Amino acid sequence: MSGLFKAISRQITSGSSEVAAAPGTAGSGREAITTQFTKGRMDKCGVYRHLSPAEENILADFWEKLLDDFDKPLEAVPCDPIAHPVDYNDEQERKKASDAEVNTPFEVFGGCMFNQSVASRCRELGIVAEAAGELVPPFEQQQRRKEAGAGDDGAAKITLREAFWAAIREDHPDVLVLRFLRARKWDLDKAYRMAVAAVKWRIQERVQEIIWYGDTANDASLMWKGVSYAHGKDKLGHPIIWSGSCLHHQKDQSYPQLKRYLIWMMETLRQLLAPPVERVCLIMDLTDHSNANMDWPFVKTFLKYLEAYYPECLAICIVYNGPWWFSGVWKLISPLLDPVVAAKVQFAQRPEGLLKFIDASELLETRGGRNKYEFKYVAPEPNENRLMFDSGARAEAAARLAAAQDAFVGATKLWTDAKEGGDDDGFAAAATERIAASDLVVAAAQALDKYTRARHFYHRTGVLCDGAVDWAKLQDGAASEDPAPSKE
């Protein structure tokens, strides 16, 4: 298990911007996460709308470079190598899982069979949409071609513009760009190549299709067990992700399904973040952990995705109730790291350790707090995705988003031109216009989201509604069997 911490240290270091920078330069002044908790104040340096002049200039340079490449075929834009952390053939692994499902079926958890999807389990439970009989309409062929790298005519290659906006989803455009700049310590060229690689990776992994089907296509046992889930926030406002290792067994699901779940989870968590809160608090709960729960392919995949494709998403990782030697191994490794980076990994053996970072009202009662919530998966409702069947309304929403994106690009060109021309007043005025245009992009993207993303657990429980996050919907206990329907 010492290899786990070595891997964590490598991934955190390679993806972190939190290395001392000279005063006045981009990235300078960021505080260690433990210092932030001690002060009770989040450090907003380098995040959206909290940039130094040096950081804003680099952001403008990034956008100038991006817009120069915007209409080039994506495959023609240079990038970092696209890493695949585990040498598995997904198609072969899916076939093996399908064969096992037929030839040697077994129950994994609560009636969920090996390789069974949530949609399949719902059919067994009698949860079927009234109109088409399916919870989610088929992923559109046009969308499928774009995922494969082709345009509407099946021949023209997808451009960086299309792929980039698909990656932005409902984020402010600058939020995603800034993640890569911070991850590469404000080195423009390195950040740009990293960002383009992430965009290409999303095409390869068909992330848009994963978002489209949502948790209905996830492995049923993973969802019903609650291997990982978000609930509440820490003292700085970061959403808390609880990950109980004792619930996970490598044999219970295929690697492609585990990878799909991981991507879906990360994309879902993006919806729970809003500037200036752009990162999460991860609790690795090792209560009752044994060697049977260790899954190296998953660990390697998670760490690589966190470093290369979802950078700057982790505020702090708290290892809870681990074996006594876990912290000893970390003590040997941490002096080799920058102190700010090393502070991201903390250890807690008792509730008192968790209470340093989480208020008692937010900490689960099962872990020494006062919050009575216990995870219980809320299955899809028969007609919760009815808007996804309305292709006409989806096209109208997509057109409104495209118009908002074009307006943002126009404002951004004025901004970068003012910088290049040394027009400080024009630069400031264009920056204000960009913020307003960015807000319109987010609003239009959220409106389209209802037509392109299957509703999920956090919609069903009411935690996520119209882009707003309200943990109070679950603070007083588990979700009801029949939660109030989401407005989304």
pLDDT tens for 100-145 read 898 999 999 999 999 999 999 999 999 987 666 789 999 975 555 5
Joined together, the tokens standing for residue 32 give: 């260690």
pTM of the entire predicted model: 0.90
Amino acid at 213: Y
Confidence of residue 51 (pLDDT cuts 50, 70, 90): very high
| Residue 20 CA, distance from chain mean position | 27
Question: Does residue 153 have a pLDDT over 50?
Answer: no
Instruction: Report the percent of the chain where pLDDT is more than 70.
Output: 86
Number of Cβ within 10 Å of residue 38's Cβ equals 11
- Name beta bridge partners: 277: 274
Instruction: Report the percent of the chain where pLDDT is more than 90.
Output: 69
- Grouping H, G, I as helix, E, B as strand and the rest as coil, residue 276 is coil
Are 340 and 185 contacting, i.e. CB atoms less than 8 angstroms apart?
no
Beta-carbon contacts of residue 314 (< 8 Å; ≥ 6 apart): 12, 279, 280, 282, 306, 344
Report the range of poorest mean pLDDT among 286-300, 322-336, 468-482.
468-482
The pLDDT of 49-65, averaged and rounded, is 97
Question: Does residue 354 have a pLDDT over 80?
Answer: yes
Q: How far apart are CA 314 and CA 164, in angstroms?
A: 22
pLDDT of residue 142: 52
Are 160 and 69 contacting, i.e. CB atoms less than 8 angstroms apart?
yes
Phi, psi of 240, rounded to the nearest 5 degrees: -95, 130
pLDDT of residue 30: 79
pLDDT, one tens digit per residue, over 458-485 is 999 999 998 899 998 886 544 434 434 3
Are 259 and 405 contacting, i.e. CB atoms less than 8 angstroms apart?
no
pLDDT of residue 83: 83
- Structure-derived torsion over alpha carbons of residues 312, 313, 316, 317, reported in degrees to the nearest 10: -120
For the chain, the distance separating the N- and C-terminal CA atoms, rounded to the nearest angstrom, is: 43
Question: Does residue 409 have a pLDDT over 70?
Answer: yes
Question: Does residue 325 have a pLDDT over 80?
Answer: no
Beta-carbon contacts of residue 42 (< 8 Å; ≥ 6 apart): 36, 236, 237, 276, 277
pLDDT of residue 320: 93
